[in-house]
Amino acid sequence: MRSLGASKVSLSSISSQELWEKSGRLTEGSAEVFRFHDRKDTRFLLAPTHEEEITSLVGSLTTSYKSLPLRVYQITRKYRDEARPRQGLLRGREFVMKDLYTFDYNVSEALKTYQAVKYAYTQIFDELKIPYLVAAADSGNMGGSLSHEYHFISAKGEDRVVSCSHCDHVYNEELADGKTHKFNETEESSTLPGFQTEDAKVEGGATISNGMWMAISHDGNTLLRGWYPKYSMQNGSTEPVERHVNSHAVKAIATAAGIDLDLSVENPKEKWTAHVQSRSSEQKPRVLDLYDSQVRVYQRPPLSDLLEEIGCTATDIEYSKLDRFPGTSNQLSLVRVHDGDSCSQCADGQLTSNPAVELGHTFHLGTRYSEVLQASVSVNQAVLDGSAESGGKSSKEQIVPMEMGCHGIGVSRLISAVANRLADPKGLNWPRAIAPFDVAVVPTKGLDAVAERIYDSLTSISVDTLLDDRDKGMGWKLGDADLIGYPVLVVVGNGWKKNQTLEVQCRRLGVKENVSMDSLPTVVEGLLSQL
Amino acid sequence: MRSLGASKVSLSSISSQELWEKSGRLTEGSAEVFRFHDRKDTRFLLAPTHEEEITSLVGSLTTSYKSLPLRVYQITRKYRDEARPRQGLLRGREFVMKDLYTFDYNVSEALKTYQAVKYAYTQIFDELKIPYLVAAADSGNMGGSLSHEYHFISAKGEDRVVSCSHCDHVYNEELADGKTHKFNETEESSTLPGFQTEDAKVEGGATISNGMWMAISHDGNTLLRGWYPKYSMQNGSTEPVERHVNSHAVKAIATAAGIDLDLSVENPKEKWTAHVQSRSSEQKPRVLDLYDSQVRVYQRPPLSDLLEEIGCTATDIEYSKLDRFPGTSNQLSLVRVHDGDSCSQCADGQLTSNPAVELGHTFHLGTRYSEVLQASVSVNQAVLDGSAESGGKSSKEQIVPMEMGCHGIGVSRLISAVANRLADPKGLNWPRAIAPFDVAVVPTKGLDAVAERIYDSLTSISVDTLLDDRDKGMGWKLGDADLIGYPVLVVVGNGWKKNQTLEVQCRRLGVKENVSMDSLPTVVEGLLSQL
């Protein structure tokens, strides 16, 4: 944060419901926000994030573009009334977040800020020396590639991140847009094609059997059926692959077709049947069939079983089908990426899909908050256009809403994700960047003076060292050190008594070696540089 | 906190209403607690302090006296729904507090802990180098002298602290017990004396005129009238002193007499009159007269005016009067200490009463929380009695509730109190202990290299130094440094150009002197040692 010139602030954990209503983020349905009122019935909330507060604060203090760029951050407790709090610090209702807010006077300055923040974030994650993925988090509707997520791959993760073996194509599965994408394809066609029926050739891998997946609209009137390749062959494989529907992709297609899907309904067909049988409105019940690009489209709708079941005829129902994304010529892709699928962004890559934990998020907000909360600066036209670094006095002054960014790192969640990732049956294992100490020196009884010499020699080369001088046995102390997870241990024991050697241990790298007092600093620094 | 061997913890700001009901601290009337519930209607609160949470946590983890003493602290946000939040950080509804909780296995160990904490607290306040008062905060009913408050004298303070010019008698005015105290007096008498009427001699300073002060009970049935010396002479003074009622003293007497006073009522007589005139219950309205020891007691109650006003006769009213504290032979003291009053603890001292800000509080809790929340340890009888340091194995094991202490420092309030105390019209003035930097070096343009030499020489002797290398004029930079309030400024300007001297400024000590580069470290250290 210092490298960005960001100033540390500390905003109240309590915010005002009125302010959040002004920004449009608090409605009756905002179930994740803890609300309360004070003794005078003023309505408050426990802030899950602080865009509203910081925008109105900065807006009230900043009048000229000369104060920009302005970057402020805090590391504070945030609150969210999670429907399913679980996995300890990984998804709690109180959590510690570092949140950075940035303010610029035009988009091009804001994009420079965004790139600077993205660089700082990769520096932070690099320092942990644990592999992470930076996933694009836009699908075109946020204004360009201006949102990124930072993930650890983890079996405990609730996201799924898809990445290519060859190019830098990385994205969160929930951002699947429901369209097929092929390398070198142009998406610009706006031709609305005719329907292709079973005579047409189906591209892509050979589908062995189809599956059908259902969902229902919020109003209960529309039953959506997705026809997808349940088993299909992959290039270069002889075993068929079982595929699953990506509900985010289906939702994207449905939304584009004007249908508001409710993915929380567990039995959509039963619910729709009940709706059809009890309906009083004049609106006809509707069935929409979506066809994945790998499924042949039936010329006659396969409705008969369903109609028989509910006691209707085809004229009682409004039926339609889609095999292209509404408004485009793109075919539909309803299924989740399977390991080994081809990449859509490069010729040679294969995709992998992994469960992942999201630890950070950078976001260009534009004027989403600054407009409604009146956070503006005056700037002269030449500066605004970028045609002059310090605008000529003759140029006209404009009042413009600030271009904002928000950028978070989940601090408590990161601690938990690192712990999960590196712990082994003996205990925790901390990366050097967040370890309580770099090195623990553990002497046996009677060797305290040697241990102190080691402590002094390591601290003199800026290694953050702990000397465990507690009055306990060596076995207990080593077990305790393993539990806590110091990156490196230096054991002063029998080796010293016999040969004046020290045992250096690093559980994470599988190292256990005897070294002399002289070579200790070099050995320790060599290990730490990998941790 | 480290000197006490205390471990840092971080408890949630959210606590459970159920837990607070178990300890008896949350009732319908607890208006100062912010409450809310989650989506499943579980009842939560924003914790103003954490005795309940830490007691149940430590109780669940600690089983043997061998883990004791245990001392844990945190520096976190706390919440209180103040009736009148005001003065910024001095009395806010969200504040930062350092709270320390201590656990011991018997009273004598807990008292050792208490003394150690008290010593640590005085060390903390000593470091600020601002005069403070340590006030006894018990009045005998908490089990000995086991609570102390730490105060700055401040015009913004809402407490009043009384201190003696001669002995260490210091106490918060709100702890006035309503009894007269005289040096060498024994309070043990339990004789219930007869009433002394106007023939009896009145001791103490000569009262010139009496005042009458009224309050009403919560149920509205009892009107309390306090007769006090409105003007009286002090020893050694020729001017009469105007005195005011200490409502805390009156409340203490009323409580001992079984009356629950409501001090928030602004017009007690009007309220009581309305009660008398509209009453339907069979309970007689009551008048209780309290007589300060310096007021002569009327043989016939001075009720006639009042009765006439409300249209009653004496038989409609239950009348009583008190000139002794219920259950003791102590006379009553209804008035606030006036500067110059004699001390009750020593022969020679005179008292002073000052407005003060409470910044810290140490408290021996005993088993108040550990009993109700079942936080116990096993300890063998010999250890418990203090008759053996490590108990013999033959001695019987006991399960005892832990003896606790809680000890707080108001961190945000302390920042505010220090700012108020030391600021002058030019800006803030921070004590070295909490200043952002010890020294700011402010060079004029072109002398950056000299400034860097100064920076290096000061940091090399562990002076925390800021170099203001911003591209601004000297006047602007000096004004900014004064506003921020660095303890010491080193100005590298014309003096250097002419005579190779540096100007050392310390606004708080009124210092502005030219020194050579060689003597700079000594001069700076000399100033810092006073700040």
Give B319-365 pLDDT, tens digit per residue: 888 989 998 888 999 999 989 888 888 878 899 999 999 999 999 99
Instruction: Test B93 with A38 for CB contact under 8 angstroms.
Output: yes
**What is the predicted pLDDT for the residue at B185?**
54
Token pair of A62 as six digits: 């900043």
ipTM value: 0.82
> Smallest Cβ distance to B36: which of A12, A36, A39?
A36
Which of B13, B79, B94 lies at the smallest CB-CB distance from A94?
Answer: B13
User: Which chain A residues are within 8 Å of B35, Cβ to Cβ?
Assistant: 36
Whether residues B35 and A36 touch (CB distance < 8 A) is answered with yes
DSSP letters of B52-121?
A: HHHHHHHHHH--BGGG-SEEEEEEEEEE---SS-BTGGGB-SEEEEEEEEEEESSHHHHHHHHHHHHHHH
Ranges B88-102, B308-322, B423-437: which has the least confidence:
B308-322
CA distance B65 to B399: 10
Question: Would you state the CATH architecture of domain B429-528?
Answer: 3-Layer(aba) Sandwich (3.40)
Q: For residues A136 and A210, is the Cβ–Cβ distance under 8 A?
A: no
Which residues of B lie inside 8 Å of A (Cβ-Cβ)? 12-14, 31, 34-36, 38-39, 46, 77, 79, 81, 83, 93-94
CA distance B340 to B338: 6
Distance CA A477, CA A441 (A): 10
| Distance (Å, whole) CA B110 – CA B400 | 13
With beta carbons under 8 A apart, name residues in chain A contacting B46. Answer: 36
Q: Is B292 helix (H, G, I), strand (E, B) or coil?
A: strand
Most B CBs within 10 Å, among A39, A50, A75, to test the B interface: A39
Chain A interface, Cβ < 8 Å to B: 12-14, 31, 34-36, 38-39, 46, 77, 79, 81, 83, 93-94
Please tell me the distance from the alpha carbon of residue B433 to that of residue B410, in angstroms, as a whole number.
16
Mean pLDDT score across all residues of chain B:
88
Partner-chain contact B34 A34, CB within 8 Å: no
φ, ψ for residue B503, nearest 5 deg: -100, 120
pLDDT band for B191, please (50, 70, 90 cuts). very low
Which pLDDT score, from 0 to 100, does residue B194 have?
44
The verdict on a CB contact (< 8 Å) between A93 and B14 is yes
Query: Cβ-count burial of A258 within 10 angstroms (0-12 exposed, 13-18 middle, 19+ buried)?
Result: exposed
Model pLDDT, residue B335: 92
> Using CB atoms, which residue from B12, B38, B83 is nearest to A34?
B38
| CATH classification for the domain delimited by A428-528, as one of 3.40.50.300, 3.30.565.10, 3.40.309.10, 3.40.50.800 | 3.40.50.800
Location of each CATH 3.30.930.10 domain in chain B: 2-176+352-388+395-416
Cα distances from A442 to residues A454, A468, A493, A508, A512, in angstroms, run 10, 5, 8, 18, 14
The whole-angstrom distance between residue A15's C-alpha and the CA centroid of its chain comes to: 25
Q: Which residue has the higher pLDDT, B309 or A98?
A: A98
Amino acid letter, B515? V
Class of domain A2-176+352-416: alpha beta
Distance of CA A273 to the CA centre of its chain: 37
Which helix (H) or strand (E) is B380 found in, with range? strand B376-380
Element (H, E) at B405: strand B403-410
Inter-chain touch A34–B36, beta carbons under 8 Å: yes
Q: Are B102 and B110 in contact (CB under 8 A)?
A: yes
Give the type of residue at A94.
E
Across the A:B interface, residue pairs with CB atoms under 8 Å apart total: 33
**CATH code of the region B2-176+352-388+395-416:** 3.30.930.10
**How much is the pLDDT for B187?**
45
pLDDT at site B223: 94
Mapped onto helix, strand or coil, the DSSP state of residue A227 is strand
Q: Please say if the pLDDT value at position B315 is more than 90.
A: no
Q: Which of A31, A39, A93 sits opposite B31 (nearest CB)?
A: A39
At residue B299 the predicted structure's pLDDT band, cuts being 50, 70 and 90, is low
Query: What pLDDT is attached to residue A301?
Result: 64
Cβ-contact B212, B280 below 8 angstroms? no
For CATH 3.40.50.800, list the domain ranges present in chain A: 428-528
pTM: 0.84
Q: Is residue A31 classed as helix, strand or coil in its secondary structure?
A: coil
Residues of chain B with CATH 3.40.50.800: 429-528
What is the per-residue pLDDT across B106-132, written as a single tens digit (0 to 9) for each?
999 999 999 999 999 999 999 999 999
Closest residue in chain A to residue B78, using alpha carbons only: A13
Q: Measured between beta carbons, which residues in chain A are less than 8 angstroms from residue B13?
A: 13, 77, 94
Higher pLDDT, B348 or B143: B348
Task: Provide the β-strand partners of residue B360.
Answer: B150, B409
- Cα–Cα distances (Å) from A303 to A259, A289, A310, A319, A321, in that order, read 20, 10, 11, 9, 12
What is the band of B9 on the pLDDT scale with cuts at 50, 70, 90? very high
Angstrom distance (rounded) from CA B317 to CA B283: 10
Coil vs helix vs strand at A421: helix
Regions of chain A with pLDDT less than 50:
139-144, 187-194, 196-200, 391
Predicted pLDDT of residue A191: 38
Residue A183 is predicted with a pLDDT of 62
- Nearest C-alpha neighbor of A229 from the set A252, A254, A202, A251: A202
